[in-house]
Amino acid sequence: MHLGPTFIVDTFAEAFRMRYARLVVTAVDAYWLDAALRAVTGYGCSVIGCDAEIAVENFLNPADTPDGRPGAAVLAFGFSVEAVGKAIPNRVGQCLMTCPTTAVYNGLPDAEEQIPLGKHLRFFGDGYQKSKVLGDHRYWRIPVMDGEFVVEDLVGVAKGIAGGNLILQATTEEIALSGARRAVDAIAPLPGVITPFPGGVVRSGSKVGAKYQGMVASTNDAFCPTLRGRVASDLVEGANCAYEIVIDGVDEPAVAGAMTAALRAAAGEGVQALSAGNYGGKLGKFHFHLRKLLGE
């Protein structure tokens, strides 16, 4: 199967169950919103080493935010409710409460499970914090040096999916980077998904396990061009550079839609093949077959 000149490998991406929270972050203007988002999503690429896989889902018009200011929705994924419940207060306290003019709201108010956020951070107010209940929502007003930091008491956590992916194989680094950027740009406007790695792209794709004791993951040698001839390679003929795009989403349709958009955008001259990473179906129960996504 081909998309134009690009071969679509008959394989599947293997994804697994995760939990996620959705934060709505607002600020006085685009500059401070950008500063807040850069901070809160930093070091949030892979739960192999980070406390959460976290990135901006989409930007929100002032008319769509709780306080009528510029805002964005942020998705944060972890292995469990407890893991998300630890990561979110830490990141919000360190990265958003410290950022001028920000406020933080619950983006999943109807989720069955809710974790403390303002309930924890309020103690920073040293007894001067105030709570306010509007409808079914409790907010905390924590005094800070530019006024008050407003944060919602609780944040919802729901079941999501992590690990949707595609692997782009190209003749040169330049072509591979261009194809990867096209794919990430195609995903960016879609709701319910994030690409948490730098620029949405992974150069150090991993496999489960390693030769060294204590390593839970190591380089995906099957896609390393410099290891051709030394390992069983999954690179197609003529491919000299590969990049992976990892997609986390709120449900299967969201991940499938993002993968389909990315596949169609990434294909092109010099992109020899589009593949995906899996572990024989042993790691995750969600399997996204590339050719089925494209309507074989």
Q: CATH number for the domain including 213?
A: 3.30.70.520
Q: What pLDDT does residue 34 have?
A: 98
Residues 88 and 204 in one domain: no
Query: Which pair of structure tokens corresponds to residue 91?
Result: 């990141």
Query: Which pair of structure tokens corresponds to residue 136?
Result: 């079914």
Residues 285 and 166 in one domain: yes
Where is the domain boundary, 158, 181, 204? 158
Residues 153 and 164 in one domain: no
- Could you tell me which residues come within 8 angstroms of residue 204 by beta carbon, excluding any fewer than 6 positions away? 219
Mean pLDDT across 54-81: 98
Residues 134 and 153 in one domain: yes
Query: Which pair of structure tokens corresponds to residue 17?
Result: 């169950």
Residues 8 and 72 in one domain: no
pLDDT digits (tens, 9 = 90+) for 197-237: 999 999 999 998 899 999 989 999 999 999 999 999 999 99
Distance CA 43, CA 40 (A): 9
pLDDT digits (tens, 9 = 90+) for 127-154: 999 999 998 899 999 999 999 999 999 9
In this structure, are strands 103-106 and 147-152 parallel, antiparallel, or unpaired? parallel
Residues 212 and 149 in one domain: no
Residue 53 near residue 20, CB atoms below 8 Å: no
Q: What pLDDT does residue 296 have?
A: 58
Q: What pLDDT does residue 280 have?
A: 83
Distance CA 259, CA 245 (A): 9
pTM (two decimals): 0.95
- Could you tell me which residues come within 8 angstroms of residue 144 by beta carbon, excluding any fewer than 6 positions away? 97
Where is the domain boundary, 158, 189, 211? 158
Q: What pLDDT does residue 200 have?
A: 97
Does 8 score more than 70 pLDDT?
yes
Mean pLDDT across 40-47: 96
Short-list 158, 115, 117, CA closest to 20: 158
- Could you tell me which residues come within 8 angstroms of residue 34 by beta carbon, excluding any fewer than 6 positions away? none
Residues 10 and 40 in one domain: no
Distance CA 248, CA 258 (A): 9
Where in the sequence is the domain holding 26, given as residue range(s)?
A: 19-158
